[in-house]
Amino acid sequence: MLILGIESSCDETAVALVADGCRVRSSVVASQFAAHLPFGGVVPEVAAREHLRAIDPLFHQALAEAQIQAHEIDAVAVTQGPGLIGALLVGVAYAKGLALGLGKPLVPVDHVQAHVHGALLGVPPTADFYPALALVVSGGHTNLYRMRGPTHFHLLACSVDDACGESFDKVAKILGLGYPGGPVIERLAEGGDRNRIAMPHMVQQKNRMEFSYSGLKTHLSNLVQQAKATADLASGVGPSQLADICAAFQEEALGQIVRKLVAALRLHPETKHVLVAGGVAANQRFRALMAEQVPRPALFPAQAYCSDNAAMIAAYGFHVWQQEHSQGQGQADALHEWDAYSRYQFARAKNAT
Ligand code: KG4
Ligand code: ZN
């Protein structure tokens, strides 16, 4: 079954064609990075306009790269939320029009949960893959799920304050390293000593499953303020100290997740695999820590599918469609009955049994 995926939740427009939920036929992404750069952050109105400009050419590019005609598509999957509402509406309206025009089913999917399917692209499905534990570690979310199947997401833990990727971005800003913070902190950390500067260990109590990042960020901010007060350097932090700070911060930001995951595996010993996805999954130290400390096979997405893309939307859409179809609940003739949503539906994921 060939699914077209469409993604427009934030500052990347993406279209992809994926066969049977795992074989990527094409995946194209248009980044809006340059359009937002002068503003120092993503401007929702600019994002929506950029999506509008990019989406149709990207659709044709995805078809051309896969050497597929539009009528060969079996269903259209689109990000319904969470994200910037104006940005989401561009993708949703385009997908609705396309599905209607082609006479194909339309499958709305959740962006956060779709990230997990980024780790399953290229992995042929096996009967005994689940139950799994899945982590989405991105700029907006730090969510830990228990999964009984490809569409079952039971939220075990999330962040009580900042998301992990957001903390990389905020700490990079404090250190004057620019945006996004993750890749530059990872690069600087490679030359640093991760044990020289002490970091607070967040949410240590063993029965507490949630994540927390704001304390770590405040600690870093205080450290830089103190360095500024005592050093002659304008930034307060010299190059070797900067590398040590990045290494120590990264170790705790990622270590916290690995500790919680190991605790969750003790509570759920039946777990067969661990899936890790989202922008932070690109981090090599994260992958090494998981390999060292997590006693289960862990799957990460290829680098191209860690950050926002439409292949993960198409892959998740395949499974959602299969499930709905088997239950006779296809969305094909209900285009008007749903719309985009801006916030992740935490209550629904917590209550999923
Ligand atoms: O999943 P994503 O592309 O967008 C969201 O849906 O949020 O994640 C972006 C986040 C940013 O906060 C960025 O700093 C972080 O992922 N990130 C990284 C790395 N590459 C991107 N964090 C740590 N190490 C990296 N190599
Ligand atoms: Zn994302």
Taking only the tens place, the pLDDT of each residue in 258-301 is 999 999 999 999 999 999 999 999 999 999 999 999 999 999 99
Q: Which of 124, 119, 117 is nearest to 301 (CA)?
A: 119
Taking only the tens place, the pLDDT of each residue in 74-107 is 999 999 999 999 999 999 999 999 999 999 999 9
DSSP 211: B
Predicted confidence at residue 353, as pLDDT, reads: 80
pLDDT band, very low/low/confident/very high, at 234 (cuts 50, 70, 90): very low
Atom of ligand 1 nearest to the CA of 179: 14
Taking only the tens place, the pLDDT of each residue in 150-168 is 999 999 999 999 999 999 9
Predicted confidence at residue 132, as pLDDT, reads: 98
Cα torsion 261, 262, 263, 268: sign: positive
**pLDDT above 50 (res 118):** yes
- 284: CB partners within 8 A, 6+ apart: 186
**pLDDT above 50 (res 114):** yes
Predicted confidence at residue 204, as pLDDT, reads: 66
**pLDDT above 60 (res 236):** no
Q: Which of 138, 144, 91 is nearest to 261 (CA)?
A: 144
Q: Is 183 in the pocket of ligand 1 (CB under 6 A)?
A: yes
Distance 56 CA to ligand 1 centre (A): 26
- Distances in Å between the alpha carbon of 161 and those of 199, 226, 310? 18, 25, 28
- Distances in Å between the alpha carbon of 332 and those of 88, 107, 151, 278, 347? 19, 8, 19, 29, 26
Question: What average pLDDT is seen over the chain?
Answer: 93
Atom of ligand 1 nearest to the CA of 164: 12
**pLDDT above 80 (res 332):** no
Distance 180 CA to ligand 1 centre (A): 7
Atom of ligand 1 nearest to the CA of 165: 12
Average pLDDT over residues 236-246: 82
Taking only the tens place, the pLDDT of each residue in 182-217 is 999 999 999 999 999 999 987 666 567 899 999 999
